[in-house]
Structure 1
Amino acid sequence: MLNKVFVSAIIAAAGQGKRMKSRINKQYLELDGKPILIHTLEVFDKIKYINEIILILKEDEIEFCREKILNRYEFRKKIILVSGGRERQESVYNGLKFVNKNAQIVVVHDGARPFVTADVIEKSICEALKNKAVGVGVPVKDTIKVVDENSYIIDTPDRSKLWGIQTPQVFNYDILIKAHEKAIEDNYLGTDDCVLVERLGHRVKMIEGNYDNIKITTPEDLILGEAILNRRKSKI
């Protein structure tokens, strides 16, 4: 079934990375001797069901990324470089304009999540074929509190119903493009692609990912990332 479906992957890597407090953007920082972005791209490059990779970058970093990062490594798939926007949502929409006209499924992933696994990506694609919209996440471990504008607790949601959303988030192309166009029409800025699809009234199926699938955002995340890589290598 998957062999007959054209799947496009959009990798969002145009963020500022201000919390990293680094002179270079976080996706170019190294883990185990390789840029974070390369770790991410290598996972997607090896998945046979993905037909193309669209990499969203800051406009002024496209040539740097091509010459100093991508050309140092070999990829089987063609990687299309696209300029991002001011917000992640605009960047993903820019990427949607470049997907192949035959694309039926679009996988949206954060470039700074290098520990995503192939099995989670493939499972999310399969679920998207059935449900049209899929989010990957994990049940929260902590008790969550809702506070008011003065930081007083006003509610404690049932933890059993709470998930931490990750990426990939995978959609039928027609649904995702409509969701983005509706957000533009309404001048709405969402925190992820799932919420844009939710606004259309379409249900989003959640599937469980893994707790390793962290987003590298702060210097502390780099330390945790090294630990994850060392643990994985010890199991080989």
Structure 2
Amino acid sequence: MKYIIIVAGGKGLRMGNDIPKQFLPIGGKPILMHTIERFCAYDKDIKVILVLPKAQQDYWKTLCEQHQFTEPHEIADGGETRFESSKNGLALIPEGEDGLVGIHDGVRPFVSIDTITRCYDEAQRTCAALPVMPVNETLRQVAQNGTSKTVQRSEFRSVQTPQVFNIMMLKMAYAQPFNEGFTDDASVMESFGCKISMVEGNAENIKITSPFDLKIAEMLIG
């Protein structure tokens, strides 16, 4: 069985907008709908779990009615942290379920079908996979005393989502107590002792968090 947990807990603060960023429209409908549709296009039988703050769930249901959005999905309550939100989404997967689960940012609507396929195929083979892209800019490492030095960008990758894992392994990893080192779902799995495989992402798989990103999204959707 394949699942995708789509985490959408944004408040839209960097957008300078009262509407949370995942609900902002591109191409005539909310970003979040485009994201869900991308995974349903990958696999019409995939089980979609949407993680939303409780205060936003009624608004989402209203948007679904307005846009006649009928892709089947369950809703889990968002937590105070990404760790809590992912854990709440995982709780909707029945105990003992065998298969794969991806976790994806709700505001990444342009992940390609090829990227999704690579992630699930690699996770099927290795247990854990995430998409990455090369770093094009020069990088400098900054020390606590303020000094800095150039580092080899060839040794670094930019991480995207979906991050895809064996369901039972991820549930065991999320039984760990939270710590500040958990920056994403892969870091939770690494802390549990699981090796993470990397696959090629896609350049359009941007995370829409600013007005500039929104302009790029409108160009991409067009």
TM-score, structure 1 length as denominator? 0.88
* 227 and 136 in structure 1: CA distance in 2 versus 1, 3 angstrom threshold: same
**Corresponding residue for residue 12 of structure 1:** 7
Letter in 1 for 2:151: P
Matches within 5 A, 1:1-236: 6-48=1-43, 50-69=45-64, 72-76=67-71, 78-101=72-95, 102-153=97-148, 155-184=149-178, 187-188=179-180, 190-230=182-222
Deviation at 1:67, TM superposition (A): 2.2
Query: Could you say what the CA RMSD is over the residues aligned between the two structures, in angstroms?
Result: 1.7
Runs ≥4 residues deviating over 4 A: none
Cα distance in 2 for partners of 1:174, 1:202 equals: 12
Secondary structure at 2:195's aligned position in 1?
A: coil
Unaligned 5+ segments in structure 2 are none
Query: Number of residues paired by the alignment?
Result: 221
Listed one character per residue, the Cα deviations across residues 2-50 of structure 1 (whole Å, up to 9, x for unaligned) are xxxx011100012223212211100111111111111101111222265
**Percent pairwise identity:** 36
Q: 1:28-76, CA deviations, whole angstroms, 9 ceiling, x for partnerless residues?
A: 1111111111110111122226531000001011111012236623445
Q: How far apart, in 2, do the equivalents of 1:73 and 1:222 lie?
A: 23
Task: Work out the CA distance in 2 between the residues paired with 1:48 and 1:218.
Answer: 30
CA contact under 8 A between 1:8 and 1:53: conserved in structure 2?
A: yes
Q: Distance in 2 between matches of 1:178 and 1:195?
A: 13
After superposition, give the CA deviation of every residue in 1:121-180 in whole Å (9 maximum; x if it has no partner): 112101101110001110111111110234320x43321121000100000012211222
Map Cα deviations across residues 70-127 of structure 1 (whole Å, 9 max, x no partner): 6623445x20011110111110100000014434100100000010111211121011
How big is the shift at 1:188? 4.3
Mapped to 2, the partners of 1:85 and 1:13 lie a distance apart of 11
With normalisation by structure 2, the TM-score equals: 0.93
* CA contact 1:9–1:50 (8 Å) conserved in 2: no
Amino acid at match of 2:61: R
In 2, Cα distance between equivalents of 1:161 and 1:70? 47
**Is the 8 Å Cα contact of residues 183 and 196 (structure 1) preserved in structure 2?**
no
